[in-house]
Amino acid sequence: MSESLGKMDKPEVSQFKNGRKLFLVPLIVLPPSTDPSHKALIDKYWREVSEHVANLESKLSQTKYVFHELVPSEDSINQLEKMMVGTYQLVKSQIEKGATLCSIEDDEIMQEFLDWNMCLSLRLHSHKVFTKIYDAFQEVVLRRNESIAKRIDDALESEAVGVLFLREGHRVQFPSDIQVFYIAPPSLDVLRRTINDWKQAKPTNDDPTCDCSDDDCECNEKGHEASGCECHCDDSKT
């Protein structure tokens, strides 16, 4: 038999040409470090992301919208530059090519999210207090995720392409008619290992109320699988 039974060829990117498309880029931020290799690694990651996005655009369509979490609605591009998360040059390049930077954050919800997240990082001793904070945090996470999904849905019209910069483990549920392409360059796995190594080297937290349930925690590296979306994983390599 000329072909192995059960063998499935990887679908061509071109078959996803119709419909709304979203390039989902994991927003990876390395912890503060004086190790020059860490900066080189994060720079390499963003170069590879740019190459993968450009490859997808050449086969599908030019990016029309850029979405970025934790960027306030006003003066977005300047605020993004101040955040120093590595995405500024890539976003700026997309804007120079005609893309529009769209806010996906409700400013009030975002501030609640950040404040409750900060509360969870405190060294708490009361499990009752922790539970109250955690429940409030989970409630705002749900509202924020729903708000982000709605803003993307409202902005991304038929046949349009968007790029979304969002942390892994986000659990945002994208509309079912949006085709999601997960951008996973080779350096992504190296970055994950580097972050995990840094976390393991940190002093242990002896606080019994800490169960590593922070939405920003990446201990459970399920990435985009946690979002429940049907991604065309790593289709940029096709």
Tell me, yes or no, whether 6 lies in a domain.
no
Whether 93 has a pLDDT exceeding 90, the answer reads: yes
Q: What is the mean pLDDT of residues 76-84?
A: 83
**Host domain of residue 159:** 19-28+36-201+209-237
Q: Is the pTM of this model over 0.95?
A: no
Number of domain units in the chain:
1
Q: Residue 3: inside a domain, yes or no?
A: no
Could you say which DSSP state residue 227 is in? G
61 located within any domain: yes
- Give the domain CATH number at 71: 3.40.50
Per-residue pLDDT of 108-144, as tens digits, reads 999 999 999 999 999 999 999 999 999 999 999 999 9
Decide if 155 is inside a domain: yes
pLDDT at 195: 85
Distance CA 2, CA 188 (A): 36
Residue 216 lies inside a defined structural domain of this protein: yes
Q: 102 has which bridge partners?
A: 67
pLDDT at 224: 36
- Read off the pLDDT of residues 160-216 as tens digits, 9 standing for 90 and up: 999 999 999 899 999 999 999 999 999 999 999 888 888 787 655 444 333 444 444
Cα gap 119→181, rounded to integer Å: 34
Residue 116 domain-assigned (yes or no): yes
